Amino acid sequence: MENVTEMTWFVLLGLNDDPKLQLPLFITFFLIYIITLMGNLGMILLILLDSRLHTPMYIFLSNLSLVDFCYSSTVTPKVMAGFLTGDKIMSYNACASQIFFFATFANVESYLLVSMAYDRYAAVCKPLRYATTMTTGVCVGLVIVCYICGFLNASIYTVNALSLSFYKLNVVHHFFCDIPAIMIVAYSDRHVNDLVLISVASFNIFFALILILISYMLIFTNILKLRSAAGYRKALSTCTSHFIAVSIFYGTLTFMYLQPSSSHSMDTDKIASVFYTMVIPMLNPLVYSVRNKEVKNAFTKIVLRSK
């Protein structure tokens, strides 16, 4: 990262350059962002206000909502501003910041999903020891580890991508500074950087997935042993929302990052990126609230109290 990088600029082509589509696209993403804002911050507020939700599961869920809001906010406002003003230029430092914060929050979400899988395992497979296993101290410790891992991984991704050499003006076929899109426009050899990206991303994704799959294998094995239909439904319902969130999140990440940057189709990547930068953060609060009776009851209680 030489001094010349201070003069480097990135021109983000965005999703579409048709002038007629700029306003409709702005309205669409504005609505998505408002729903994301209300859903995630509303979930955090709901958990804070209802003492019955001060449990390990909801400690993780409140942090998941915070992370969803944060990593959506690193991308969506800039994209919406581009639709209105036509300004699609980002400085080197702004692009580096966006890469770092987006990678940080995305990695924190990944490890929070692992922690939530362990919490579900403890709740279903060891219910009698759950209160002593998943104490508040343990939950807070796991959350802190998630943030530390996110920070460290984001540092590796950011340095790896921006250690490449760029022109003073670079045209990026994307709507935000995503790592594969930025690496493609570098003029220096990126073979080693591609290997580092794939290796680190593979380790993070598969390590997290393996831990989650082990948790679910043990959970489903335990569920099959239940003779009570009510117990079977309860155990299954505690895992369904998390399983849906895991499938969507890791499915998209695997598609995006576990291939060499040279083989990326930017048009396809942009569609996938819209999904995991904007749609997933909007869907997670809905996934966890629609199927969750405790969240519904807490929301109803607060609404009735406010009348």
- pLDDT, one tens digit per residue, over 93-121 is 999 999 999 999 999 999 999 999 898 88
Higher-pLDDT residue of 276 and 252 is 276
What does the block give as tokens for 107?
A: 């990695």
Q: Is the pLDDT of residue 303 over 80?
A: no
The strand ranges marked E within 68-202 are: 89-91, 169-172
Question: DSSP string covering 49-99, please?
Answer: H-GGG-SHHHHHHHHHHHHHHHHHHTTHHHHHHHHHH---EEEHHHHHHHH
Spell out the residues 6+ positions from residue 237 whose beta carbon is closer than 8 angstroms to its own: 291
In tens, the pLDDT along 221-240 reads 887 776 666 656 665 666 77
Predicted TM-score (pTM) of the model is: 0.86
The average pLDDT across 212-219 equals 87
- Most confident stretch, 4-13, 161-170, 248-257, 278-287: 161-170
pLDDT band at 153 (very low <50, low <70, confident <90, very high): very high
What does the block give as tokens for 297?
A: 């009851």
Task: Name residue 1's amino acid.
Answer: M
Q: Is the pLDDT of residue 3 over 50?
A: no
What three-state secondary structure class fits 178? Answer: coil
Please, what are the domains in the chain? 3-306 (1.20.1070.10)
Q: Is the pLDDT of residue 307 over 80?
A: no
pLDDT band at 145 (very low <50, low <70, confident <90, very high): very high
Q: How far apart are CA 63 and CA 88, in angstroms?
A: 31
Instruction: Name the one residue in this structure whose structure tokens are 């958990």.
Output: 47
Instruction: Name the one residue in this structure whose structure tokens are 């279903």.
Output: 124
Mean pLDDT over each residue of the chain, to the nearest integer: 83
The CA angle 14-20-23, to the nearest 5 degrees, is 70
What does the block give as tokens for 24?
A: 């409709």
Q: Is the pLDDT of residue 2 over 50?
A: no
Q: Is the pLDDT of residue 158 over 80?
A: yes
- Please name the helix (run of DSSP H) or strand (run of DSSP E) that holds residue 44, with its range, or none: helix 19-49
| Closest listed residue to residue 147, CA positions, set 179, 112, 171, 172 | 112
Q: Is the pLDDT of residue 4 over 50?
A: no
Q: What is the CA radius of gyration of the chain?
A: 21
Q: How far apart are CA 303 and CA 213, in angstroms?
A: 38
**What pLDDT was estimated at residue 226?**
67
**What pLDDT was estimated at residue 6?**
53
